Structure 1
Amino acid sequence: MTPHPYTRYVAIGDSQTEGIGDGDEARGYRGWADRLAELLTEGQPDLTYANLAVRGKVTAQIKAEQLAPALALKPDLVTVVAGMNDLLRPGFDAEHVMTDIEEMFARLTESGAQVATVTYPDLGKLSPLARRALPRIVDLNTRLRAAAERHGVAVLDVFPHPVTTDPRLWSQDRIHAGPLGHARIASGMAHTLGLPGHENWSAPLPPLAPAPTLRTLSADAVWAMGFLGPWLWRRLRGRSSGDGRTAKRPELTPWTDQARNPRP
């Protein structure tokens, strides 16, 4: 594989970057950032990688808890993916969220690191929970692109690509990517960073036969009981799925086969 300049990669963010949807609590989670680290290692065997992301974190928490540790690791590549947990909350404030994201962009790029981020797809095509969020998603994506341009941040823009809302790329909770989705994000990020061989990251999957209405309704009911209910209950109690959790890879370490399935 063609060499690249990155030797110290740090990922910060929430559950998507932690890898939820690509693994389980028993075996650990892999996720797109782990997969990207593996791709980067093919062109730079000496790459070291840390993943500071923790599920359930809103943008302000990511900035407060992960930015300083990330800077202390002196990375030359950082991925910043934040905002989803803010988007789904009633009091979402795009300006406040983007102020925190842009501060992270600024401080990380000023340190000399290449920073990369990703936009959000239309999640309303996947989850009833997110159907009213489209205006928020469009607005946040617009702000992300503008902030990224101001600071020289690379952007994987997934919103225009229909494949990113193909249900086969998503896990059963319809909020987190599944293994195939995480693999596509990793490939898309590799393409965004200039790694060759990933031009087809957004290629569509073979067409699916239309699902019977009854099956669709049944799937929606199972989703509501298994995922929407617990999510709403946590919100009502002021709890987060990340309470009490710490980063799965807090230090820069070489990427190895054994690291592909870290313990939760």
Structure 2
Amino acid sequence: MTTELHPSGSPYTSYAAIGDSFTEGLNDPGADGHFRGWADRVAERLAALRPDFRYANLAVRGRLLDQIVEQQVPAAIELKPDLVSLCAGGNDLLRPGADPDRMAKTLARAVRDLRGAGADVVLFTGVDPRDTPLMRQVRGRCAVFYLHVRSIADLYGCHLVDQWSMQALRDWRAWSEDRLHMNAEGHRFVAAKVCEVLGVPSQDDWRHIWPPREQVDRRAKLREDRLWVREHLLPWVGRRLRGTSSGDTVTPKRPDLEPYA
């Protein structure tokens, strides 16, 4: 799908981002106390091209696909934006018994509704989890779901951001200490990829090549792993056992379409 640029530089006067922590922007600190993230970075580029541009971000960390489709998709449709980004399903795929075929049907219904409302839609594959021992166990169902995402994008004429092919995201220097969320560099690469897919100018390059890393002492690596288990993995497991989410008390950071400064 190609996008023709408006004479002012962008065809989009409004953009609504929906999804989970990835789209909310964890862990890319912003200047206003909220997380920034790739979606805010894309909004910055679009706002620089259109003085009438408005932006909403309805994403909330921890949300499952069904929750995003039931809560955020109708809210986005009500806002009537020109452009919607939808990335969902990552939290589902980490859970035992996740069914990528059922998830794909749910996603397809949401995309059909968004496209039927007249919005251009951006979809995402996830990052290849083969370099993460914990997440490598779910690589098969991730691959199945993301193949479905590609098919849905093709069927409904959506833009597709293929993170699976982004080699820069396979380096831990693009990720935060919790090993589940990107840091500022990772979000910057994703924003550059989204801009390229939309045909929007960007100063960054998602094809970043990291310089060689210094050899890490094995004992230091073991200490890092133990710290990660204590501070990040065990709390995550605890929330799963209690049936709670990190986003239970979180509300969308930009619930309405507003000018983006």
Can you give the 5+ residue segments of structure 2 that lack an aligned partner in the other structure? 1-6
Which of 222, 230, 240 is the aligned partner of 2:227? Answer: 222
Query: d(CA) in 2 for partners of 1:204 and 1:210?
Result: 18
Unaligned runs of 5+ in 1: 257-264
1:5 aligns to 2:50 (yes or no): no
**Distance across 2 between alignment mates of 1:132 and 1:5:** 41
Q: Say if 2:90 is the partner of 1:84.
A: yes
2:248: which partner in 1? 243
- Provide the secondary structure at the position in 2 that maps to 1:159: helix
Corresponding residue for residue 260 of structure 1: none
8 Å contact kept, 1:154–1:192? yes
Q: Indicate whether 1:119 and 2:125 are aligned.
A: yes
- Contact map agreement 1:9 1:49 (CA 8 A) in 2: yes
Match of 2:3 in 1: none
**Contact 1:2 1:195 (C-alpha < 8 Å) held by counterparts:** no
Cα contact 1:169–1:180 (8 A) shared by 2: yes
- The CA RMSD over aligned residues, in Å, is 1.8
TM-score by length of 2: 0.93
Q: Is 1:212 aligned to 2:217, yes or no?
A: yes
Matched length:
255
Structure 1: distance between partners of 2:37 and 2:201: 21
SS at match of 2:164: coil
User: Of 134, 153, 158, which residue of structure 1 is paired with 2:158?
Assistant: 153
Counterpart-to-counterpart distance in 1, 2:105 and 2:115: 15
Question: Percent of pairs identical after alignment?
Answer: 40
| Aligned partner of residue 56 in structure 2, secondary structure | strand
If the length of structure 1 is used for normalisation, what is the TM-score?
0.92
1:139 aligns with 2:144: yes
| Deviation beyond 4 Å, 4+ runs, structure 1 | none
Residues 83-117 of structure 1: CA distance to partner in whole angstroms, max 9, x if unpaired? 11001001211012111211111111111111002
Report whether the alignment pairs 1:35 with 2:41: yes
Distance in 2 of aligned mates of 1:124 and 1:24: 30
Q: Distance in 2 between matches of 1:70 and 1:177?
A: 25
| Residues 26-59 of structure 1 deviation map (CA, whole Å, 9 limit, x = unaligned) | 9221111111100111211221000000110000
